[in-house]
Amino acid sequence: MKRSKGITAFCILLGLLTLAGFGDSIVILSGKIEVVPTWLGYFTLFFGITAGGAAAGLWHMRRWGLVALRYWFAACLMLLFASALAFDSEIPGGITSVVIIAVILSGVFLAVDRFVSSKSEVTT
């Protein structure tokens, strides 16, 4: 089955985000950045794992790739709120701005989910 160009580009982007998630988790969990709490590294690791799973599943046009993509969406929101918790005093607008960003991000995720779901090539 042939992947659409949009799915191919999205898989490449997810692959790069996988590398970023793993790289961030290595640096954060090592404790080399003192201002970032080490527990945040586990959220970046989860982000990287789910991005990699989504990239692999969608690259091979499997239905579980769509499920992995939805887990990545959840990982993004979890990382957003965990980062807000860690850096609450430094966020302009506080939790209100984080919630607004989460709502906008959820709309983007819904659009991406609809796009990926509409591709009839995604099989079981």
Q: Which residues of 80-103 are buried (b: 16+ CB within 10 A; e: fewer)?
A: bebbbebeeeeeeeeeeebeeebe
Q: What mean pLDDT comes out for the span 97-117?
A: 91
- Summarised one tens digit per residue, pLDDT across range 62-85 is 889 999 999 999 999 999 999 888
- Domain segments of the chain as ranges: 5-118
pLDDT digits (tens, 9 = 90+) for 21-32: 999 999 999 988
CB 72 within 8 A of CB 47: yes
Q: What is the mean pLDDT of residues 5-24?
A: 95
